[in-house]
């Protein structure tokens, strides 16, 4: 049904509230990078409008550090849309500080706690190989 796939990988050993927070941030990153993937606004029975949602499913994976590193590497190699969240961002308080923390990470091996990717199905499947769907 879809030519592309969205996958979000989140570090397995994070507390649940952090997993949810990281997943939410990463989902917004993919939505921002792929405005063409956004559906139409939702209307309730009274005609009130609600925000658009991404028009395709997102697969959420529980990941180990090696899974995050693999997805990061293959996302770059296959030019996939990518959103990333690094551990240092947990200690920041606003978007500007998040960007500074991200910039300070080593480009080839950041301390990832989550990554979201979108692109052709085969490339995303290859990047997520070995990670397991979140329970």
Percentage of the chain with pLDDT > 90? 95
- Helices (H), ranges, 2-112: 16-33, 65-77, 95-103
**What are the distances in angstroms from CA 72 to CA 4, 36, 44, 90, 110?**
17, 23, 39, 19, 9
What pLDDT is stored for residue 135 in this prediction?
83
Domain ranges for the chain: 4-133
Work out the average pLDDT over 123-129.
96
**pTM for this predicted structure:** 0.94
What pLDDT is stored for residue 17 in this prediction?
97
Work out the average pLDDT over 21-34.
96
Tokens of 39: 């559906």
Summarised one tens digit per residue, pLDDT across range 62-101 is: 999 999 999 999 999 999 999 999 999 999 989 999 999 9
Instruction: Write the CATH number of the domain with boundaries 4-133.
Output: 3.40.1490.10
Distance CA 113, CA 62 (A): 10
């Amino acid at each position: 049904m879809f030519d592309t796939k969205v996958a979000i990988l989140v570090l397995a050993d994070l507390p649940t509230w952090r997993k949810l927070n990281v997943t939410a941030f990463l989902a917004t990153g993919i939505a921002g990078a792929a405005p063409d993937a956004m559906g139409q606004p939702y209307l309730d029975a009274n005609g009130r409008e609600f925000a658009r949602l991404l028009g395709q499913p997102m697969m959420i994976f529980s990941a180990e550090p090696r899974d995050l590193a693999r997805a990061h590497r293959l996302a770059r190699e296959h030019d996939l849309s990518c959103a990333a969240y690094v551990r240092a961002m947990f200690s920041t308080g606003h978007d500007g500080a998040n960007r500074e923390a991200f910039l300070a990470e080593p480009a080839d091996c950041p301390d990832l706690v989550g990554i979201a990717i979108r692109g052709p199905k085969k490339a995303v499947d290859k990047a997520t190989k070995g990670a397991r769907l979140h329970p």
